[in-house]
Amino acid sequence: MSNKLSLPPNYLTALQSHFNIPFNSSPPKLLRSFAQTISAMSSGLKKNKQRKEFVSSAYLDDKKYCDAYLLYYTTCNLLKMYYPLGELKKSGFFNEHSDLSVLDLGSGTGTLILSLSIWLAENFPSSRAQFTAWDQSSVALQTLEKFYKKFDWKFELETHQMDIENARLTDQRYDLITGGNVLNELTELGEEHFVSILERNLLPDGFVILVEPALKNSSRRLLELRDRLLQSGWFIYAPCFTHGSCPALVNPEDWCHHDMPWERPKFIEILDEMVGHIRKSLKFSYLILSRQDMHLSEFIAPERNFTNQFRVVSDLFKEKGRRRVFLCNDLGRNECLKNKRDNSEENKAFDDLELYDVVQIDLLSEKKEGKKIEKESTVVKIEGGAN
């Protein structure tokens, strides 16, 4: 498994200051009221019978929910943005946009704004950025403004109370548009407004990063949006290694998500035990979109090749006598296997594949049970992902 991600120390320091709770030594009783609110929020967001009513209730207008969301969900979601940012970094985008304009849609308590701010400060310390946050909840935006001031950086933040379901289109255009856990809370009409905002407000050389929950319904909705945008002239920069229809949508039981290990803070572990969650890793689905025909492979490989280059879309299954994994590109979402008897120096990298790796495989054969690595096949793991 890849190295575990850790929350930035300045984020944890700011969080302790904001809530005036010593997380390193806080007894569970100080977190009990938060756990009760998190439990209610979790039920409202996940249970289908309650979800529509809960989402439409503008729950973040309640400060109790807002504080619990910042403490728990923002903390658990903060690092998810790092992976797509690492992939976009490969293109040179952040070198070319040292004075970055960012629109964050459905900001809530500012998860993606905080993540991008911290990431930029770590990776491009001389960069400047202007963040614009849109959310329907004035309470959430006030919480974000107050918390954002806890950090010592030169980035600028402005907030606007804006309901994406009925958004007023503006003429302001941005280098980067982000959205985290927003699509899964929109109605069909809201999604229409959402797409209109992307099309109207993104600069021609800009990118869109969307991060959604790894739940099947949420992930599949993101993939359906992916196909819709491709059909209307957009391009996928990552994670997909195909510009055709999403292969995961062929089977109604399939979906696509990443899963990264992280160092879970003690206070999150305590809250998880109280609420009944197990957040030992970070699961999420994401898309990086552009109006330009650009793709990650052009920056990490000699050339774009959606026939021999694949995204690994499952864990590696290790069985007696063989290894199996699911790969995705223009050939579809296919199971690929290697028998132990076919091990060779050229294909040994297959045995170390991890979820969401990018890999190039030559001399792959077609068998009844799926794609097959032969003794003469070459397997090369291509550098990519967050770093």
Per-residue pLDDT of the chain (387 residues; tens, 9 = 90+): 457 899 999 999 999 999 988 877 666 788 998 999 999 888 877 766 666 777 767 789 999 999 999 999 999 999 999 999 999 999 999 999 999 999 999 999 999 999 999 999 999 999 999 999 999 999 999 999 999 999 998 899 999 999 988 877 888 999 999 999 999 889 888 999 999 999 999 999 999 999 999 999 999 999 999 999 999 999 999 999 999 999 999 999 999 999 999 999 999 999 999 998 888 899 999 999 999 999 999 999 999 999 999 999 999 999 999 999 999 999 999 999 999 999 999 999 999 999 999 999 999 998 877 899 999 999 999 975 555
- Structural domains of the chain, ranges and CATH numbers in brackets: 9-294 (3.40.50.150), 306-382 (2.40.50.140)
pLDDT score of 384? 55
pLDDT score of 80? 97
Structure tokens at 120: 């930029």
SS3 113: helix
22, exposed or middle or buried, with CB in 10 Å at 0-12, 13-18, 19+?
exposed
Structure tokens at 80: 């998810």
The pTM for the full model equals 0.95
Residue 359 bridge partners (DSSP): 310, 381
Residue 278: count other Cβ atoms within 10 Å of its Cβ.
10
Residue 29: count other Cβ atoms within 10 Å of its Cβ.
7
Q: Provide CB contacts within 8 A for 43, sequence distance 6+.
A: 50, 54
Residue 293's Cβ-side half-sphere holds a number of Cα atoms within 13 Å equal to 4
Rounded Cα gap, residues 353 and 317, in angstroms: 10
User: Taking Cα atoms as reference points, which of 66, 14, 15, 74 lies closest to residue 37?
Assistant: 66
The secondary element (H helix, E strand) that includes residue 216 is helix 216-231
pLDDT score of 317? 96
Beta strands in the chain (DSSP E): 99-105, 128-135, 156-161, 174-180, 202-212, 235-238, 258-261, 281-290, 309-312, 317-319, 322-329, 332-339, 358-367, 370-382
pLDDT score of 13? 94
SS3 228: helix
